[in-house]
Structure 1
């Protein structure tokens, strides 16, 4: 019989960021002191996938994992940025006056795009010097890109006294991703990164752009939320994500509604009969997953047993697998293994085609469920997953 994996190896926590080391790196790169340090978290979406660009509801939490930026304001239009995890830490230098839609700026597009978006709104924009570090896993569907754009937006806003509300800070991040980085994301990722609160989940109405903070105290309920990174990388900017977005828009057009959010759940079956099979499946996922967000929110507000969220997570995963077709074998393996090992529910989270699975488990079962997922992945020939417990945390802010 195989021996259990070491619990400390199976369930771990990403290494914290050393703020002093980042400030020292800034001084080394730019021979100057930073004006301050800012942080913005990644996010994990509890339920409601691909509903954000359809005007529907989503339910994310901000993570304890952050992108941290040491930043100094410049008096010209030059932006210099370096990241410990990109391009061997080399400094990328760009001029804000040269930035245009469709340009190729690599990973720095998520940074410089914020300045471009601010200028489009008529805000005063000067250059910045930036040094970055992050412990948000990249390519895992945990919004490392939103953490990057939002920490930049928060720092720029603070340093230039733009006095923006949280929603506008988030929107600057989205514009950077959509129009300069070329990633067609909705607004959920950025809102979650900017507006997160400790021990709360956010029910976001993506059409009205309103946020309801809901109690999300898993520890008090004896529960834990495992984030199981399949280490199967995905990309929001690829053709598959764009196709799902196009299919959703086409389905709404054929049904004569503004967005799929407007399709009534009560008459869904008869309404969808008007669509060809592919669009029918795509629309069914969007409408039902948005409804599952509302069901989950009611559970969180009711004080009911949070374990009742589990079946909704399972249903969401089945919908993404069968109707939206955005899961992959490594993801399905992890979801099935988590449920078989005792998780109350599990689902893929994020844009799809890789990334992470989340599993709602009793605290005492976390290591056993994680161990089962590692074994299942290895036996199926998939990459060994990395697993940590998610903690609902605060949003983007100045930390020094």
Structure 2
């Protein structure tokens, strides 16, 4: 269910006895193409989605922090500034507590606050619920303390929350996409420059609809093969003697003798090319070519980078049989599939996937739709 501003503000007042001073919406993001390229300085093409984290906040006159959230099954966090200082010394942390401690410690906030968090983002499904939550907290707290940060600093701080306080080796892609998100645009991310530029992605005008299939197979970056892939690509860049695989070429792939490192590098080189080809195809309205690029990307992630799963592979194959462009999205090892189909295909897609998942005795998927790319992180009140 969507979060409504008035209802959300009223909920905060009921919980804490007064109205919030600051309300922000922080969307999730889905990556259309370009995965596992960001930590090697490459390209990606995400969009902000109309599923988001909402935060309402008000400073307290004391040093108490009280957070209520529907994130991960109605969590509450109640602690003091002194507890924040002590917990920050025992990194990495986990759960909502880790986000709260990380943000308070990074920003150096010297007062308490009352906070309400609500989310329409499915957790651990590849839509970047964690970066969305980090940015919501960072934006609201910096706003309340009258020290608002520029976009680039917010992006850097959100990455620090995950890397330093939660122990997750995530890249720049997620926070950058959420902060730079723009309606009706995809964001062409240059991870090496740590910047993103909006590019037109008007699939709605062509009668298309973007689908996100939450396969209900949660994954956790910290406990997955994500770290292993980071280390493998670092070994490849060291062998090739280049700053990052962004600069690798087809010739460089052939110079690697280890077949695993060769496959990992091949994915990154070709995926960077696919990102640029997708932008060009969308610009000329060649959605059939976009579909082919999505299918090619998935095969590369599955075979060369080996971050897919049987559930993701089968889901993409069933959608491909329907003529729907599809690929796994995000870090992999579970999560979601992103797909581009016709605007009238929702019922057919849901029906086919429901039947197929039942035949496999898998938990039924959740099919989300993105009628058009959404705005990025923004202040509501």
Tell me the TM-score normalized by structure 2.
0.93
Please tell me whether residue 19 in structure 1 is matched to residue 9 in structure 2.
Answer: no
Measure the CA separation in 2 of the matches of 1:39 and 1:393: 11
Measure the CA separation in 2 of the matches of 1:28 and 1:320: 47
Equivalent pairs counted in the alignment come to 377
Measure the CA separation in 2 of the matches of 1:269 and 1:279: 9
Residue matched to 1:49? 35
Residue matched to 1:108? 97
- Deviation string 1:241-299 (CA, Å, 9 cap, x unpaired) is 1111111111111111111111024x24423xx23111111121122112211111222
Q: CA deviation at 1:78?
A: 4.1
Q: 1:88 aligns with which of 74, 78, 85?
A: 74
Q: CA deviation at 1:359?
A: 1.2
Q: CA deviation at 1:75?
A: 4.6
Residue matched to 1:270? 254
Please tell me whether residue 292 in structure 1 is matched to residue 280 in structure 2.
Answer: no
Please tell me whether residue 63 in structure 1 is matched to residue 49 in structure 2.
Answer: yes
Measure the CA separation in 2 of the matches of 1:248 and 1:125: 41
Measure the CA separation in 2 of the matches of 1:101 and 1:280: 38
Name the SS for the 1:331 alignment partner: helix
Measure the CA separation in 1 of the matches of 2:375 and 2:27: 8
Measure the CA separation in 1 of the matches of 2:349 and 2:189: 30
Equivalent runs, 1:148-187 vs 2, <5 Å: 148-187=133-172
Measure the CA separation in 1 of the matches of 2:243 and 2:60: 44
Residue matched to 1:354? 334
Tell me the TM-score normalized by structure 1.
0.89
- Deviation string 1:170-209 (CA, Å, 9 cap, x unpaired) is 2111111111011111011111111111100000101101
Equivalent runs, 1:138-153 vs 2, <5 Å: 138-153=123-138
| Unmatched segments (≥5 aa) in structure 2 | none
* 1:71 to 1:179, Cα distance in 2 relative to 1, 3 A: same
Please tell me whether residue 97 in structure 1 is matched to residue 79 in structure 2.
Answer: no
Q: 2:19 aligns with which of 26, 33, 48?
A: 33
Measure the CA separation in 1 of the matches of 2:323 and 2:12: 46
Please tell me whether residue 336 in structure 1 is matched to residue 317 in structure 2.
Answer: yes
Measure the CA separation in 2 of the matches of 1:86 and 1:324: 30
| Two-structure CA RMSD over aligned residues (Å) | 1.8
Please tell me whether residue 132 in structure 1 is matched to residue 97 in structure 2.
Answer: no
CA contact (8 A) 1:125 1:160 kept: no
Residue matched to 1:385? 365
Residue matched to 1:398? 379
Q: CA deviation at 1:125?
A: 5.2
Measure the CA separation in 2 of the matches of 1:364 and 1:24: 37
Measure the CA separation in 1 of the matches of 2:311 and 2:190: 31
Measure the CA separation in 2 of the matches of 1:170 and 1:68: 18
Please tell me whether residue 283 in structure 1 is matched to residue 269 in structure 2.
Answer: no
CA contact (8 A) 1:101 1:179 kept: no
Name the SS for the 1:293 alignment partner: helix
Name the SS for the 1:90 alignment partner: strand
Q: 1:309 aligns with which of 290, 310, 334?
A: 290
Name the SS for the 1:382 alignment partner: coil
Equivalent runs, 1:195-274 vs 2, <5 Å: 195-265=180-250, 267-271=251-255, 274=256
Name the SS for the 2:3 alignment partner: coil
Name the SS for the 2:222 alignment partner: coil
Name the SS for the 1:130 alignment partner: strand
Measure the CA separation in 1 of the matches of 2:132 and 2:202: 23
Q: 2:351 aligns with which of 371, 384, 387?
A: 371
Measure the CA separation in 1 of the matches of 2:168 and 2:215: 22
Measure the CA separation in 1 of the matches of 2:7 and 2:80: 25
Measure the CA separation in 1 of the matches of 2:72 and 2:363: 23
Measure the CA separation in 2 of the matches of 1:226 and 1:20: 29
Residue matched to 1:11? none
- Deviation string 1:314-371 (CA, Å, 9 cap, x unpaired) is 011001100111111111111001011221x210001101111111112223321332
